[in-house]
Each structure stands twice: as C-alpha cells, then as structure tokens.
Amino acid sequence: MDAMLNSKASSLCFVRDEFSSDDFSVDKFVSDCRKYASLETMQEDLNLYHKMLCAALIELINQDYTDFLNLSSNLVGLDKSIKNVASPLEQLKKEIEDSKKNLDETSDSAHALFVERDSTHKMKVLVKHVLCVLHGLKKIEDIKPEEKESLPLDVLERLAFDWNLVRFHKKKVSAVSSVLDHKTEEIEYISFSLDVHLENLFLQCFVIDKSCLLKVLRIYSVINNEQEVEKCFRNKIVKPFAENLITEENITKHGLSKVYELILEFIPKKCKYLLEVTRGTNRNVEFVPGFDFLVNSFFPEVVFCFEYIAPVYVYAPGDPELFHKNYVACMDFLDKFENLCQVQASVRRLRTHPSYQKFLAKFNLDLYFQIRFQEIAGRFESALFQPFDSPNPSETVENGNLYELNSTNSLFYCLNLCWSNDIFLVPLTSNFWHLTLQLLSRYCNWAYSSLKSNDCDISPEKAALIIKDVERLSLELTTLFQVSIKSKVFNKELGNLLELAFHDAVHLLQEIPPLSGANIVSSLIKQCSTHLKLITDIPRLYRKTNRQMPTKPSGYISQIKNCLTTFQVQTRSILPLKWKNYCLENVVEGIVNQSLEIIRDVLTSIKKMEDSLKILKRARENKPTESTTGTNTTDDDKIRHQLAIDVKHLEELISAIGVDGGSVKSFSELKELVTSADKTVG
C-alpha cells in the first residue's frame, strides 16, 4: 500500500513543499491549483497526501520505539555513581574554605601593619612640622620685633619669610592644634607685631619712596596678606580724605561734579607710586601682582561715604532736574574712574564689585522716567485741549520757529524734550523711544479724529493749518532723528532698526495732509452746494413774470466766488501751492458736477413743460400757450439763456482762481449742455 501511495504522490496537482513555506496562503494555494485541476481533483490529491503523512508518522514512531524502551534501562545504577563522586567534592570544598580563611587572616594582619606604618609616618611628618614651627618661632624671637620699634626693611623681609614658613607648617598641624596651644599667644603677638611694622612702613613710604613701597608690597604678597594692606590703605588714607571731601556742605556749595573731580584728582596725585608698582602697565617699572587698590579699597570707601553721609543730595529721587544732573555726573565719574584703572581685568572687577552694583542701584531710574513721562505727556495732552490755539511761546525749540497750531508745536517741543541732554539718559533709551512713538501716535489719532468727526466740522482754514504743520513736521522729524536720536544709540544695528520704525511712524503722519485736503474740499463743496440750489429757482423768476432777456449772471455765481475767494485769502500764506491747487481743482470739479446735475434737471423739466404745452396748443389752436414778449421770446428761452450766462461766468470764475477749466472732465459737458439749449432760441 505504501508503494502505491508513493507512486501516486508524483502525480499530485500541487508541490508538497508549498505547505512548509513561510508565506503559505490558503487562498493563493487554491487559486494556483485551480489553474491545473478541478476542485474534485484537488480534494482527492489532498486526501491522498494526508494518508501519506499519516503513514510516514507511524513509520517514524516504529523506528524509534526501541530507543524509548532502552532509555529507562540505561538509568539503572546512576544514583550510586553520583554518591561516589560527591564525597571527594565535599572534601575539596572544605580545603578551599580553609585556604580562604588563612588568606583573609594574613591580609588583615598585613593591612594592620600598613595602617600602623602610615600612622607612624604621619606622626613623623607632624613632628617635623611642629619642629619647623618651633624653629621658626625661635628665629623670629631672636629678631625680637617690638610694636613701638622701627625695624629695617631687610629685617622685616627676613621676618616675613620666616613667618610665612611658620604659618605654612602651623597649617599642616591644625588637625592637632593642641600641640601648639602653649605657643598661641606668642604666634598672635608675632602676627600683630608684623602687621603693625608693615603698616607703619607702608604709610611712611606710600608717597615718597617707590622702591621701599615695592618691597613692602612684596612682603605682603609673600605672607599672602594682600587684603590687609588694602584695608589699611582704605582706612588710613582713603577714609580721612573721603570723609573730609564728601559732605553735604561741599556738595551743596560746589556741586557733585566738582566733588567727583576732586576725587579723581586725588588718585594720580597721591596714589601715583602705588599704582605704578601694582599695575604692570609700565615695562620699565617692576611691579607686584595681586593688588587692586582702586577697586578693593578706594571705590568702596567713596561709595560708603556717598551712601551714608549724603544720600539725599546725591540720589535725589523726587527732584528730576537734580537727579539727571547727578546721574550724568556719576556716569562721567565712573567712566573716568575706569580709565584710571587702565587694566581691563581691573575694569571687569570694578563692574562686578558689590559696591559698584549697589551704587548704581541707588539711582531709581524707573521713578525718574515716570516723573518725566507725566511732565511730557501731560504737557502734550494739555495742548490737545486747545489744539487750534496759537502756540505757547514758552514751548520753543532752540533754533526753531513756532508752528501754526498749539498741538503741533507742543508735539515737536515734547519730542525734543525726550531726547534733550537735560532729560535723556542712556539706560532709558527704550523708554524714551516708546514715549516718542506714543506722542506721534497720539497726534495722528487726534488729527484723524478731528478730520473725520461729524460732530465738530473743521473750517478750511484750520484744515490748511494742519497741512502746513504736518508738512513741516515731517521734514523736521527726519532731522530730529538723525541729530538727536540716532546719535544717542551707540549700537549701529539697533540704530538702523529704529530708523526703519521711525520712518513708519512718519509715514503714518504723512497720511494726514491728504485727509485734511479732502476735508477742505468737502467743506467748500458743502458751502457752494447751498448756493447751487438756487439754480432751481431760475424758472420761477422768468416764468410768467414778463422779465427782460437776462444779461447778468445769477446771484449764486457771486456767492460761490465769495466762498472760493475767501478761502484763497485765508490760506494764501498757509497752504502750500500743491495743496492749494489740489483743493481748488477738486472743489471746482465738485461744483461743476453738481451744477451739471441740477442744470440737466432744470432743462429736462423745461423740455417736459414745452412738450406738454405743444400738446395743449394742438388741442386749443386759438389760445396762446405762454406769455411772450414783443420778439416772441418765450420764458423758457430766457431761462436757458440765463443758465448759459451763469455757466460762462462760472468758467471765468474758474480761470480767475487759477484752475484750468479744460482739466475738469465734466465742464465741457456742462458748456455743451447749456450752449445747445441756448441755441434753440429763435
């Protein structure tokens, strides 16, 4: 049977290896097999392959059956073999533990010996340091420094060297300081005596002997006691000078700038040698590093005196004029003081010194700006209550003329105040810049609201004054920025950014004249429109009144002429020529457009009336249709002729005020309208 199954396996409709592939899919398998066989054939082949697999499985079990049976028999006696191996392994484990114990004991013994040796070495070193201290004290005692005695400089140098060694060795035995307790008083006395002698010698050679001063400072450097000599310089030299100079009386009498000047003069006069031997800026002069008397001694004492002796007179928080004057003097003093430092590292130490930061923090810049803000903004807001009044003569910029309006003049004056040397401070640059933009924005808002408001119409004269002021203001603001603002901004890139922002603000200001011009045009057209309405009364004047043929223009022409002439007279010295022409051209165009519309309506009405009368005439042949003169001129002809005369004089008026009638688009249409109507007479 197996042979028969194997013979049939070669004729299967599928490949048997497909079932063991990783990407086997039933749908794909069925789809592929359908290409070669039917579903019945596939079913038969699958059943056949299943029987083959079952037979192969049974055959595999039959082949390995003997090995399964022999497995249990091979395990017989295995437990005895394990017991035979366990006994020697336990003995080996015991021997290893004994060896480890012996090794640990030996290691602990060796470690204890090393600790004892290290302790002995430390005690030897400690004893050596103690002996060095005692030996150094013995050498110092042989010199016998006394507080009231003056020792030679070479003796002091030797004493300082020995004292430095004593301090070094004493520091090494500080952990067991009780060893030298009996020498404490002696050590303190030597330290005090050495400080007294060095201080006296420093004060003696401070001004008169540069070489001696150099050696004294070198001694202080050797004993690592720079702070002590800086403290001595502050208390014995700077303090008496500062307390005598920095007083309320001197500040009130001479002014803060003079006091600062005297402070700066003291440094090159009294501290010349001291600075030469501690800076190292002169290659021909030997110097001792590690000292900074100006930063660590001189400046803190000066700040201390200003803070506790005369704080009100210096910082003046409630007096903006005095505050500005003192702050400028302070900044000038700091700049000159930094120049006296000469070394960049010394300048950095000065700027990070607590006394420097505390000194600057005493000046309340925020309060100062708030006071100035209220002064400047309040002055401008007050001017906006009466914006069209005459300018205040007190608000006159140096080398400048008054503007026409109080509001514009006050704006320019306040802008100059923001950047004047008597008010502006460099740390408040951003604050004053913000205030400048606020003032410009406030002015623009006032101008826009005034020109666009329906409640308070502005006369053409006032609108013209706005144009004149804004035109001039735009030019002067550019000069103000270049001269007063940009020159105070030391960062070039920031200055360029501010210039772009300022130009945007000026551009917003330059939008006011067109709006003001439109306001003038609208106001004049509104005034003339009232008179143009009289055109509609012309038919009433001639119809059935037996008036003569008109030879003069109507009254509304002279009234329009008066409006435009008055405007010209009022704005002759105010309005620039280009804006004058702009206003007149647009006003004329508005008048002509309205005249064209009204006259067209009048002529249309006359035409309709004539047509109606013709119809009645045909119905009543014997009755006259309208009143006539001796020349058979009708009333409508008189009306047309009057309109033609009015347009002619309107043209003369336009030419008289300097406007080319040909540039007005609708004027030719108006002339054609009345001319064609007038030619129908006769």
**Cα dihedral angle (169, 170, 175, 178), rounded to 10 degrees?**
130
Same-domain check for residues 539 and 674: yes
Q: Is 212 within the bounds of a domain?
A: yes
pTM for the whole structure: 0.69
Return left, alpha or beta for 492; rule: phi > 0 is left, psi -120 to 50 is alpha, else beta.
Answer: alpha
- What pLDDT is attached to residue 682? 42
Looking at the structure, do residues 210 and 345 belong to the same domain, yes or no?
yes
pLDDT on residue 381: 92
Does residue 342 share a domain with residue 224? Answer: yes
Note whether residue 38 is domain-resident: yes
Judgement on whether residues 247 and 327 belong to the same structural domain of the protein: yes
Q: Write out residues in the chain with pLDDT < 70, as ranges.
A: 1-10, 67-78, 125-127, 129-195, 207, 280-285, 310-312, 398-401, 453-457, 621-632, 661-663, 678-682
Q: Is residue 96 part of a domain?
A: no
The confidence score (pLDDT) of residue 1 equals: 46
Q: What gap in Å lies between CA 611 and CA 603, rounded to an integer? A: 12
Residue 251's pLDDT is: 84
**DSSP designation for 18:** G
Residue 198, domain member (yes or no):
no
| 262 lies in the same domain as 380 | no
In a domain, 14, yes or no: yes
Any domain includes 598 = yes
**Domain end among 39, 57, 74:** 74
Question: How much is the pLDDT for 147?
Answer: 47
CA distance 59 to 127: 96
Do 278 and 369 lie in one domain? The reply is no
Domain shared by 343 and 441, yes or no: no
* 434, 370: one domain: yes
Domain total of the chain: 4
350, 379, 409 — which closes off a domain? 350
- 274 and 330 in a single domain? The answer is yes
Q: Specify whether 244 is located in the same domain as 377.
A: no
Are 326 and 412 in a shared domain? no
The predicted structure's pLDDT at residue 628: 44
C-beta of residue 282 within 8 angstroms of C-beta of residue 213? no
> In this structure, is residue 144 part of a structural domain?
no
Are both 571 and 639 inside the same structural domain? yes
In a 10 Å sphere around its CB, with 0-12 CB exposed, 13-18 middle and 19+ buried, how is residue 228 labelled? middle
Structural domain containing residue 50: 2-74
Give the torsion through C-alpha atoms of 451, 456, 459, 464, to 10 deg. -20
Residue 192 lies in a domain: no
Which of 44, 74, 104 is where one domain is finished?
Answer: 74
CA dist., res. 239 & res. 305, Å (int): 8
3-8 long-range contacts, Cβ below 8 Å, gap at least 24? 5/48, 5/51, 5/52, 5/55, 6/52, 8/48
